[in-house]
Amino acid sequence: MNWQETADNLRESLLRNLHELQNQTGDELIENRYRRFRSIGEFEEIKERPLQFKTREFSEIENQEQKAKNPFSAVSA
């Protein structure tokens, strides 16, 4: 790793970002910070929808659950 190149890149990035921040008013800084933190963890609730189709694996699991609930249902009278 080239430490000098890394340090130069870090210095350039810090100075560029500091310059951008200095060009904003205090109110702009606060508003931008508020918006940035409000967007963290943003999510959308999705209502549960019925299954449109069943996979073979799902059907097998469903059958096993039914058998476990009523093990004598498969026995004929």
Whether the CB-CB separation of 42 and 34 falls below 8 Å is answered with no
Would residue 50 count as lying in a domain?
no
Kindly state whether residue 15 falls inside one of the protein's structural domains: yes
Assess if residue 73 is contained within a domain.
no
Task: Give me the number of domains the chain comprises.
Answer: 1
Residue 26's domain spans which residues?
10-39
* In-domain check, residue 28: yes
Q: What's the CA gap between 26 and 23, in Å, rounded?
A: 10
Q: Is the pTM of this model over 0.75?
A: no
Contacts of 66 (CB under 8 A, 6+ apart): 73
User: What does the pLDDT profile of the chain (77 residues) look like in tens digits?
Assistant: 899 999 999 999 999 999 999 999 999 999 999 998 888 877 777 777 766 666 777 778 888 888 888 867 655 54
